[in-house]
Amino acid sequence: MQKIKSIALGFFALAIAIPSFSQNSTYSPYTRYGYGQLAESGFGASRAMGGTSLGTRDKKQINPNNPASYSVIDSTTFLFDFGLKGEIGNFKQGAMKSTNYNGNIDYIAMQFPIAKGIGASVGILPYSFVGYQFGDSIKPKGQTSNFAENSYYGSGGFSQAYLGIAGRLFNHVSLGVNLNYLFGTISHTSQTYFTGSTTASIITNEIRVRAFKPEFGAQFFTNISKDRSICIGLKYIPKVNLNSTAKKLVYKGDSVTLAKKFELAETYGAGLSMQLNKQWHVALDGTYQKWADAQYYSYKDTLNNRTRISAGAEFTPNALGRRYYERMRYRFGGYYSNNYLNVKNSNLSEFGVSAGLGLPLKKIPTQSSFLNISVEYSRMKPEYSSFLYENYLKFTVSLTLDEFWFFKRKLE
């Protein structure tokens, strides 16, 4: 009965959260390009540790970034994870500056055992965000007084609901797979208004996606001494055809469906994590995405291949300690990445540093629920100094609930 109640509650929470994922969670002019700003799929602790997760194997955390991690869950545990996020964005281009604030639901997921050595997870999380609004003025050739006032604005994004399963083999190997259902709509609108005229030209390009995206993961883990262990994680995502519908809508004109092809990049990832003396957990991740080979509006080489390197650490003074601060988890990390967006044939680089805390909510060491808090500073740096610089301060608050199920109390 407890099993049925937990799963039903989890699916109800997922259904309630789905409409929120269609809301804007960014304000960046660079999201005019490609599929917008890509979201990282790490949860709670991962956000504070630079986004590391591929080699992470923790009984008290859901880790959808490597589905092979699901098999670590024991037969009496049910995990539920819910995250909220907010960010402050600062934008600078020459003498112009602006600041923007936004926030939204970040993710929601649950994880549970299927059988001994087999675990499953289901959830919903963002894939990309689009959100911007800006304009400029142009004086057409041959005109002395009239100007063209241009406005550009975009909204939307893609979300993904996933169902994953993993199984442990030979006590040192785990294999897993996620089946993601990608959905959402991205809209880009350009408006031109000529001074002295009562009409405007308004064109909207819309991309709607409904597609399945598989992800495959593997983890190899072993103890290297009495109080030290190591885990190597691998991940692969094949190139995905988005089965999308692209439309061009012209103000006071016809809507035209475009025969264009859109794809997501083939992705490779590898990670390493080590557990030291029951206090330290250190991790290193690397990911490579072949965006230049993915078609965007039926063209290749319109996006850049992307490499992301991240590292992080977590320190727990004493997980069984009597004092509260001893049971807290202290986290920090950082990352560097080149962006997949190709902005006027130039490159963007991004780096960030992060820190956070895992605050235990229960005193029972074997049943630890956590409130995870993280803060991250990141900077988007363009190749040319005349382009827009973006600085972000991001906050994430997540609640990880760890409950017993399949547990029968004995009466004495």
**Averaged over 190-218, what is the pLDDT?**
86
Q: How many CA atoms lie within 13 A of 295 on its CB side?
A: 13
The DSSP letter of residue 320 is T
Structure tokens at 148: 């063209």
Tokens 């509006």 identify what position? Answer: 297
Q: How far apart are the first and last CA of the chain?
A: 23
**Averaged over 41-66, what is the pLDDT?**
92
Whether the per-residue pLDDT at 97 is higher than 90: the answer is no
Q: How many CA atoms lie within 13 A of 66 on its CB side?
A: 34
Percent of the chain with pLDDT over 70: 86
> Which candidate, 62, 278, 77, 71, places its Cα nearest to that of 170?
71
Taking CA atoms, 80 is separated from 14, 56, 161, 369, in Å, by 11, 18, 15, 9
**Averaged over 359-388, what is the pLDDT?**
84
Per-residue pLDDT of 48-60, as tens digits, reads 999 999 999 998 8
Structure tokens at 44: 């709670």
Instruction: For residues 159 and 211, give the distance between their C-alpha atoms in angstroms, rounded to a whole number.
Output: 11
Reduced to 3 states (helix: H, G, I; strand: E, B; else coil), residue 253 is coil
On whether the CB atoms of residues 106 and 125 are closer than 8 A, the answer is yes
> Which candidate, 170, 277, 165, places its Cα nearest to that of 229?
277
Instruction: For residues 170 and 147, give the distance between their C-alpha atoms in angstroms, rounded to a whole number.
Output: 72
What is the pLDDT, as a whole number, of residue 411? 45
Instruction: For residues 91 and 29, give the distance between their C-alpha atoms in angstroms, rounded to a whole number.
Output: 10
Taking CA atoms, 156 is separated from 104, 128, 248, in Å, by 13, 9, 16
Whether the per-residue pLDDT at 406 is higher than 80: the answer is no
On whether the CB atoms of residues 176 and 157 are closer than 8 A, the answer is no
Reduced to 3 states (helix: H, G, I; strand: E, B; else coil), residue 343 is strand
Which residues are CB-contacts of 173 (< 8 A; sequence separation ≥ 6)?
218, 219, 220, 221
Which residues are CB-contacts of 136 (< 8 A; sequence separation ≥ 6)?
150
Structure tokens at 152: 């550009």
**Averaged over 163-181, what is the pLDDT?**
96
Which residues are CB-contacts of 408 (< 8 A; sequence separation ≥ 6)?
none
Reduced to 3 states (helix: H, G, I; strand: E, B; else coil), residue 213 is strand
> Which candidate, 160, 152, 153, 134, places its Cα nearest to that of 22?
160
Across the chain, mean pLDDT equals: 87
Per-residue pLDDT of 109-168, as tens digits, reads 999 999 999 999 999 999 999 988 887 766 666 655 567 788 888 999 999 999 999 999
What is the pLDDT, as a whole number, of residue 1? 47
Whether the per-residue pLDDT at 2 is higher than 60: the answer is no
Reduced to 3 states (helix: H, G, I; strand: E, B; else coil), residue 403 is strand
Per-residue pLDDT of 297-331, as tens digits, reads 999 999 999 999 999 999 999 988 889 899 999 99
> Cα 1 to chain center, whole Å?
33
What is the pLDDT, as a whole number, of residue 285? 97
What is the pLDDT, as a whole number, of residue 135? 75
**Averaged over 70-85, what is the pLDDT?**
90
Structure tokens at 212: 């399945």
Confidence of residue 355 (pLDDT cuts 50, 70, 90): very high
- Antiparallel, parallel or unpaired: β 255-258 and 263-264: unpaired
Rg (CA), the chain: 23
What is the pLDDT, as a whole number, of residue 412? 43
> Which conformational region is residue 277 in: left (phi greater than 0), alpha (psi within -120 to 50 degrees), or beta?
left
Structure tokens at 396: 């994430």
Per-residue pLDDT of 214-260, as tens digits, reads 999 999 999 988 889 999 999 999 999 998 889 988 876 678 888 89
Taking CA atoms, 184 is separated from 19, 31, 68, 161, in Å, by 11, 15, 27, 11
Instruction: For residues 50 and 335, give the distance between their C-alpha atoms in angstroms, rounded to a whole number.
Output: 5
Instruction: For residues 334 and 353, give the distance between their C-alpha atoms in angstroms, rounded to a whole number.
Output: 4
Instruction: For residues 185 and 180, give the distance between their C-alpha atoms in angstroms, rounded to a whole number.
Output: 16
**Averaged over 173-186, what is the pLDDT?**
96
Higher-confidence residue: 304 or 345? 304
**Averaged over 256-284, what is the pLDDT?**
94
